[in-house]
Amino acid sequence: MASISFQKAQRWYPGADKPAVPGIDLDIDDGEFMVLVGPSGCGKSTTLRMLAGLEEINDGKVFIGDRDVTRVPPKDRDIAMVFQNYALYPHMSVADNMAFALKMAKMPKEEQDKRVKDAAKILGLEEYLQRKPKALSGGQRQRVAMGRAIVRNPQVFCMDEPLSNLDAKMRVQTRTDIAKLQRDLGVTTVYVTHDQVEAMTMGDRVAVMNLGELQQVDTPLALYDKPANLFVAGFIGSPQMNLLEGTASGGSVTLGTYRLSLAESAPGAEGKVTVGIRPEAWRLVPESEGGLPVEVTVVEELGADGFAYGTAQLDGETAQIIVRVGGRDAVHKGETLYVVPEPSKVHVFDTATGERLS
């Protein structure tokens, strides 16, 4: 096991007018589960592939432990890669797929068998060792791909969107399995996903990327509670944060007919600001209390709770609003809700720069 350090690592594809990753600085602790998350094309997979040696590093360095691996071939980096598409050999049994890398390394057959059986026990694959991949479900195939990585006892696991081919229920189960497995083995893991729910539920820390650059690196709850800028605020959270533009002056901001106090969040804010409010931070109030009026267009009823999606008029513009409501609250399409936010849960950002003010 080992720590990982990216030091201004850059990847510039031939013919491109700008680098895919301009120069990333990121330190990952020994045994840590680090998730790289962001929209498609943000550079997260390129960053992972630079670590694995599958992409050339044009500038900067990458270290695994104390060893500079910037120019080291992939086979000599002591990493194991788990891909999105499983990449199993269809003509081989599960056991042979898992043992293939050991066989290529000319490991004694007894040791190969022991490692495969140990990994199969961890992953619940013992009864499937003689089956071919086509006889397995998607989740089982992904566990075989995990087993192939585990038997090598690498210093680092690299996982590139390993759950994206699974159905919704299997994704939830498998992400729990992967997180537990990583904690049991204690192997440093770098995990790439575009799904922020996966990132929030699996990572010790999460690195949010956009346009090849790190936006914020922190624990999942810190990202949720204190996003560093508008991009992180809008990306982290499901449903996403309500982002409403207004003009701040005198310790408050006007949102349509509603005036919101910023005394607890950003008392010194002035000028154009964007106010961020999570769906669960709204509170329903009677019309007489003068909250922000929201005309409901869709209600999602999820049992324990629900989400009301609606619109509000802010300075002549129509803003989309999401409000979490109780699962048994009588909220219907077409009605008007009046909402106010919890003052301590209001986020304030500079509209021009996107930076956090609160």
Task: Dump pLDDT digits (tens) for 186-215.
Answer: 999 999 999 989 999 999 999 999 999 999
C-alpha torsion 197→201→207→211, nearest 10: -10
Closest CA to 144 of 83, 190, 232, 203: 83
Answering whether pTM is above 0.85, one says yes
Q: pLDDT band at residue 317, thresholds of 50, 70 and 90? A: confident
Do residues 28 and 190 make contact, with C-beta atoms less than 8 angstroms apart? yes
82-103 pLDDT, tens digit each: 988 888 999 999 999 999 989 9
Q: Which domains does the chain have, with CATH numbers?
A: 4-231 (3.40.50.300), 240-350 (2.40.50.140)
pLDDT, mean of residues 268-279: 93
Q: What is the pLDDT of residue 226?
A: 96
Determine the distance from the C-alpha atom of residue 174 to the mean position of all C-alpha atoms in its chain, rounded to a whole number.
Answer: 15
pLDDT, mean of residues 123-145: 91
The yes-or-no verdict on residue 303 having pLDDT over 90 is: no
276 — phi, psi (to 5°)?
A: -110, 130
The yes-or-no verdict on residue 139 having pLDDT over 90 is: no
Q: What is the pLDDT of residue 11?
A: 96
Q: What is the pLDDT of residue 84?
A: 84
pLDDT, mean of residues 204-228: 96
Q: pLDDT band at residue 154, thresholds of 50, 70 and 90? A: very high
Distance CA 2, CA 157 (A): 11
Report which DSSP code applies to 288: G
Distance CA 207, CA 29 (A): 13
pLDDT, mean of residues 297-306: 89
Separation in Å, CA 353 to CA 172, 227, 228, 298, 356: 36, 14, 11, 32, 9
Q: What is the pLDDT of residue 96?
A: 94
Q: What is the pLDDT of residue 175?
A: 87
336 — phi, psi (to 5°)?
A: -110, 125
Q: pLDDT band at residue 133, thresholds of 50, 70 and 90? A: very high
Q: What is the pLDDT of residue 327?
A: 74
Task: Tokens for 295, please give them.
Answer: 């005309």
Q: Could you give the 3-state DSSP secondary structure of residue 136?
A: coil
The yes-or-no verdict on residue 174 having pLDDT over 90 is: no
Q: What is the pLDDT of residue 165?
A: 81
Percent of the chain residues topping a pLDDT of 70? 100
Between 167 and 42, residue with greater pLDDT: 42
Burial track 158-168 (b if 16+ CB lie within 10 A, e otherwise): bbbbbbeebee
Determine the distance from the C-alpha atom of residue 86 to the mean position of all C-alpha atoms in its chain, rounded to a whole number.
Answer: 20
Report which DSSP code applies to 241: P
Query: Within 10 A of 302 (CB to CB), how many other CB atoms are there?
Result: 9
Instruction: Dump strand ranges (E) for 186-316.
Output: 188-193, 205-210, 213-218, 242-249, 252-255, 258-261, 271-277, 282-284, 292-301, 305-314
